[in-house]
Structure 1
Amino acid sequence: MTTHQDTTPTVTSPVTSPVTSPVTPATTPSPGRVTVIGTGYLGATHAACLAELGYEVLGLDTDPAKVADLAAGRLPFYEPGLAELVEKHTAAGRLAFTTDPRAAAEFADLHFVCVGTPQRRDSMAADTSHVTAAVSALVPHLRRDALLVGKSTVPVGTAAALQALADDAAPDGVEVAVAWNPEFLREGRAVEDTLRPDRIVVGVTDPLHEKVLRELYAPVVDAGVPFVVTDLATSELVKVAANAFLATKISFANAIAELCDAAGADVVALTDAIGRDARIGHQFLSAGLGFGGGCLPKDIRALMARAGELGVDEALTFLREVDAINMRRRSRTVALAVEECGGSVLGRRIAVLGAAFKPGTDDVRDSPALNVAAQLQLQGAHVRVHDPRANATAARTFPTLGYADTVEEAVTGADLVLHLTEWEEFRALDPAALEPARRVVVDGRNALDADRWSAAGWRVRGLGRPAVPARAATAPVSG
């Protein structure tokens, strides 16, 4: 799951900056040397983890400030365990960064493309211009045969187009091959997902390329991780197909939540019951505010767009409803907040617990929590947001919202509390110790212990489940 947009070399004159730590250029091909093009979320994680596996790694990016930060062991985003790896391996000289594509071409013969593919502004399709620019910037500087391995999430057919581009751009006598190795990172678990993944998928056109990648990942494969070999088109489809399935499962639970709201049923009990069926399972079957971030929303839209380009758009029309159900969750949460404030939030003080699109990250791209907060602010509410990690990134994206440094600061005096990102810190709160003006909470993630909150005198509303009325808190027993 590519998150935090990776930057990439553009098709301009390269920036002539040196490698930022003492790794010397290769004079002969070395399987122990690898470059990573794009040092955003995906690229920085992949580079640091390859260094952890024992390789010498050079990261390439066009952003001098980012390169300087990474070379000093600093990350521009939060990901558990990653900063420690970057600091460790830059200090040891195994991991370096540069803005010069010529340095990358000299350094290694195996190059990973890890740049962003955001949704295009004018359509649902993925923008692959960064991928194209990365290949265009590197290939003319190659002086030896090389293997380019894409990890970015791209529309099917991109690898073949890049192979044609590389063939045209390569210097005379230099052969450049393209393979694909999709990433399956989960924000908050990216290091674990790289070093101990569920599977490694590689799309290749030559058994020699399979051999190179199998040897590269040998420390991981030898630990029992499946190594799946496919053609290029299949490898490009694996990631987006996986994300489309996960999004569909989430939206199915949320569609049932809409039915439960209408019927007076409890979607939490319902999904627990059906999730016990081994064919279904509990993972990604939790109803709530829905998904966001930089992967699932744009990937399902890009998959629909590519299906239309290939003339099979009817095969994936159901994903439009998956997307629509997901967006309706935000409107439903706003409606619950308005209802609990007596029909209007004008002038009401509302505490929002959560800003990141999911726990374990500071990523606020397409964050359902911030979307809800902004909608309530537009209706006249005084909103205060608190997130354990994402306050700063949220403030840059939504500077007009109020932000609190602590849960207590956000909640004190609030007319309503919204729980919108399921951080462990929020689930572990003592509801009796909080001091709002009114003890009413809308649990947008159905993750709080409703009985415990009710016992502390709170009215609890969830998505797809009946309201839990407040109960008088039991007086402590003395003596």
Structure 2
Amino acid sequence: MTARPRLTVIGTGYLGATHAICMAVMGFEVLGVDVDTSKIEKLTAGEVPFFEPGLPELLAKALESGRLRFTSDFREAAAFGDVHFLCVGTPQQADSEAADLRYVDAAVTSLAPHLTRRTLVVGKSTVPVGTAARLAELLRTTAPAGDQVELAWNPEFLREGFAVDDTMKPDRLVFGVTSAWAQEQLRAAFGPVIAQDVPVKVTDLQTAELVKVAANSFLATKISYINAMAEVCEATGADVHDLAEALAYDERIGGKFLRPGLGFGGGCLPKDIRAFAHRAEELGVGQAVGFLREIDGINRRRRARTVDLVVELCAGDVAGKRVAALGAAFKPNSDDIRDAPALDVAATLHRMGAVVTVFDPAALDNARRVHPELGYATSALDAARDADVVVLLTEWNEFREISPSAMAAVVRRTRIVDGRHALVPAHWAAAGWDYRALGRPAVHGSVHGSARS
């Protein structure tokens, strides 16, 4: 049986920090590596530099065990590790829909010159298909150990807000390998996970690269499909919420990700489907995934349509109107505001002249840095004070649980746009609210458009 390998995790952002912490808690000796010394300092001090439920407690446990430490020294990393995980970001290029691979390339070129013995480098970052083959050749030609350094691909499937569970007991592991030895090393590196009967799919490098973008493309398609149906419902007076529930009873379709509303955002789905379409065009098979362009378009239109609903509730003009924006993160249980539909809507309303006040339980600091022009509040009720319209943009549980009558007591006008289908319309109408949601008929309160004197 292969001895338990020592692991390095290169890149200590969301993916890398989570992977390093969880692997150390599972009993591995782990060294986290990053060129950003501020991240290293925070993690070493026991501070997780982003919001993820359960992770701060696990970081404290891992540090206390002595199995986890951090460095910015690639020479130290090469000497320490038997298996090196690449967990750096692959954002969208500034001037293209293609993935920006500079951080992946920099990680490999920084590590390779110090690899002097047989070792395995494992990519976890989401990359265009063909990247692994290029990196394998780069390692072979620049590492002193040459052919003794192998590359494998192990895509990540983390859901923000559930990253600890998804790391420690994922629904599957995918190993893209080119040798039995590489597979053996990966099985050793994931021994405690595999021991929980987690399925392992072994494949070639290019298939492993495709799994993540194919999965994200499917999920994005499902989300945008029901939002396309919302557009049809708006034109016909049908209710997309009821339509989605009826479809979900069909086990071939299922209800997961069949949630109508404002659409998807974050650091994965939007940039991944764009990069996938771009890469397919480079490979000459762009027509095969041409539908992804429309998926992206449907998703973008949801944001504009949400703004339209707010404008409609304000009698066609939001200039000077006070808007309470509940939510900034792209999803609940996260402080991630990358391509966040919530902030996109809030910023658009601000540009139209509205006085927008935002509240989010976790993402306020990140939102302030990117959108200092918006107002910010310390609670949902604080944001709603004297508001002409409330718009729910991120479906945090605490927003679902708001008392309609308590909020009615602080607003100027009882008008709400539910951008996430998170609320029960009848409850709000009973408290006097005019309720609007994408793809649903308008619901008017018992006191139509009631105002607070």
TM-score (norm 2): 0.97
Say if 2:412 is the partner of 1:423: no
Determine the structure 1 residue equivalent to 2:209. 236
Determine the structure 1 residue equivalent to 2:162. 189
3-state SS in 1 of match to 2:84: strand
**Is the CA contact (8 Å cut-off) linking 2:161 and 2:333 kept in structure 1?**
yes
**Is the CA contact (8 Å cut-off) linking 2:435 and 2:444 kept in structure 1?**
yes
**Is the CA contact (8 Å cut-off) linking 2:5 and 2:83 kept in structure 1?**
no
**Is the CA contact (8 Å cut-off) linking 2:307 and 2:349 kept in structure 1?**
yes
**Is the CA contact (8 Å cut-off) linking 2:139 and 2:146 kept in structure 1?**
no
Determine the structure 2 residue equivalent to 1:451. 426
Determine the structure 2 residue equivalent to 1:276. 249
Q: How many angstroms does 1:302 deviate by?
A: 0.5
Question: Which of 367, 371, 378 does residue 344 from structure 2 map onto?
Answer: 371
3-state SS in 2 of match to 1:58: strand
Question: Which of 467, 472, 476 does residue 442 from structure 2 map onto?
Answer: 467
Q: How many angstroms does 1:31 deviate by?
A: 3.1
3-state SS in 2 of match to 1:460: strand
Partner AA of 1:103 in structure 2 = E
Determine the structure 2 residue equivalent to 1:405. 378
Question: Which of 413, 422, 427 does residue 438 from structure 1 map onto?
Answer: 413
Determine the structure 1 residue equivalent to 2:318. 345
Q: How many angstroms does 1:472 deviate by?
A: 5.1
**C-alpha distance in 2 between matches for 1:471 and 1:143:** 75
**C-alpha distance in 1 between matches for 2:412 and 2:50:** 35
**Is the CA contact (8 Å cut-off) linking 1:142 and 1:174 kept in structure 2?**
no
Query: Which residues in structure 2 correspond to 1:87-106 (within 5 Å)?
Result: 87-106=60-79
Select between 110-119 and 210-219 the one with higher mean Cα deviation. Answer: 210-219
Say if 2:31 is the partner of 1:58: yes
Q: How many angstroms does 1:30 deviate by?
A: 6.3
Pick closer, same or farther for the CA change 1:230–1:347 going to 2, 3 Å. same
**C-alpha distance in 2 between matches for 1:318 and 1:108:** 42
* Runs of 4+ in structure 1 over 2 Å off: 29-32
**C-alpha distance in 1 between matches for 2:307 and 2:383:** 18
Say if 2:246 is the partner of 1:259: no
**C-alpha distance in 1 between matches for 2:78 and 2:180:** 23
**Is the CA contact (8 Å cut-off) linking 2:175 and 2:203 kept in structure 1?**
yes
**Is the CA contact (8 Å cut-off) linking 2:92 and 2:98 kept in structure 1?**
yes
Partner AA of 1:301 in structure 2 = R
Query: Which residues in structure 2 correspond to 1:59-458 (within 5 Å)?
Result: 59-171=32-144, 175-434=148-407, 435-458=410-433
**C-alpha distance in 1 between matches for 2:299 and 2:281:** 22
TM-score (norm 1): 0.92
Q: How many angstroms does 1:173 deviate by?
A: 6.0
**C-alpha distance in 2 between matches for 1:89 and 1:361:** 22
**C-alpha distance in 1 between matches for 2:284 and 2:444:** 52
Structure 1 stretches lacking a partner, 5+ long:
1-28, 474-479
Q: What RMSD in Å do the two structures reach over aligned CA positions? A: 1.2
Q: How many angstroms does 1:32 deviate by?
A: 3.5
Q: How many angstroms does 1:221 deviate by?
A: 1.5
Determine the structure 2 residue equivalent to 1:20. none
Determine the structure 2 residue equivalent to 1:476. none
- Number of equivalences: 445
Structure 2 stretches lacking a partner, 5+ long:
449-453
**C-alpha distance in 1 between matches for 2:5 and 2:135:** 25
**C-alpha distance in 2 between matches for 1:294 and 1:48:** 21
Q: How many angstroms does 1:92 deviate by?
A: 2.2
